[in-house]
Structure 1
Amino acid sequence: MAQRTCTRQRPAAAATAALAAAALLTGCVGSDGGGGEKSAGSIEEAVAGSARPLTEQQARSVLPDAAAMPGRRARVRPVVERMDGESGKSICPETHRKGCDGGRFHGVATFVEPSTNTQLDFWLIAYRDERSAENAYDTLWDWFGRGVGIQPERVSIGAVGQERTARRGVPGTEGSPTAVAQIRVGATVLWLSTANSGPSGTGTAGGRAAKSTTAAADERLKALAGLFAGRAQQAERGETPSARLGG
């Protein structure tokens, strides 16, 4: 498959912007193709639609809060809206409408990692059942996985969720994602990205320094994916999500 060079605004930006606007109104703002990896599930998970769909409150609790992200600054605190609302119309373009079929709620949370000047975006769609989430997975990745930059490469984020796909690339423009990951946990699809909030030398670093930077970025993405998927699994079991970075 031919590599894509992406220098435009990422596809998910419209969804993030719509929810960020909603966060402002409610005072929540703080200072390669699809076909991802799949895990062989248990007998219970093998039953179509067996996962419990999340309520609006549960979907919000899955998004990391300040307690789950020590040392990071909240830019947009967790906000969730119904898919049939105005912001829901911006999630999936007409060409990828299937990705929103069966969606009940969507939400976003954004943090900044001051030590590396990296923006961390968390986004999700909670579906009415597991089959809807599974059917939407490849369509969502085909759309949202495009915005990762130049010369994207697959990244391993561990055996999180029932499906997962991740890739990293050299940023095409300042503020564009350097890595993205998509994970399905039951009836919920999770998406996260990391992006340099300001000027970065990632694309020009050479030799040992570049390898060190890449390895650190991959470890960050893996840790964030584990955190996000862990919170979704806790919510699916009816627990209050407590997973946090470093804990």
Structure 2
Amino acid sequence: MIRTITLATALAVAAISAPAIAAPFDAAIAGPWRSAENKARDTYRHPAQTLAFFGVKPGQTVVEVSPGGGWYTEILAPGLKGNGLYVAGLANPLASVNAAKGVEAFKAKFADKAIHGDIAIGTFGKGVADIVAPGSADVVLTFRNVHNWHMGGWDQEAFNAFFKALKKGGTLGVVEHRLPEARNDADMKKSGYMKVSYVTMLAEKAGFKLAGSSEINANPKDSKDYPDGVWTLPPTFQKGDVDRAKYAAIGESDRMTLKFVKP
């Protein structure tokens, strides 16, 4: 059963303790419930190293905003099962028919408590101030989403919501397609790539402090100059079979990996 998150529930579930293990997400990363296709992307998304860099660990309340098809949900929810709380920040189901369908599809996909535990649902989107109860999250994570909010014109609003959701000392982890600093700012509105300086500005304006950056998800083969933007590369392959082998050889996008802390 997937339920709507409340502050009392979040704190009660996250407080459940169990013996910590050295690599808490290794078992989930190797889990048989993950498809071969998803596991094949580990070479580009580096889940174990990325989560370790962000300091994600059992016992925490971890909010993933806009989890999409749940690539990281398949790792985070089982890894926190019984010792922490995974919260999926999904679109407001009252916003549109498609949003409602998306929420229901997510719930159905991750309904098996034996695998994923008791997932909680928070609401995230334009005009939504509270993803979860203010100050209740230990970690907020976002993977390859900032460009969508930027193109929609509400990226600062999103970062403000992250700040509000986190406890003092809490962590915001951001992975995003990386645009060279020398490129025109206008490219961020159409390419799917974002500048590190711009993302850092959004976070700092919301109140965060940059705690570190990592090259875990870097890809020097990515030239970032494709007619169809980042979606030219895998896994999207926007151009279909046109030059597919060429883009497959490049691999997934070059990405920034930034860790921010709420003072």
- Global fold match (TM > 0.5): no
The structure with higher relative contact order (CA 8 Å, sep 6+) is 1
Scaled by the length of structure 2, what TM-score is found?
0.26
Q: Which has the higher strand share?
A: 1
Scaled by the length of structure 1, what TM-score is found?
0.27
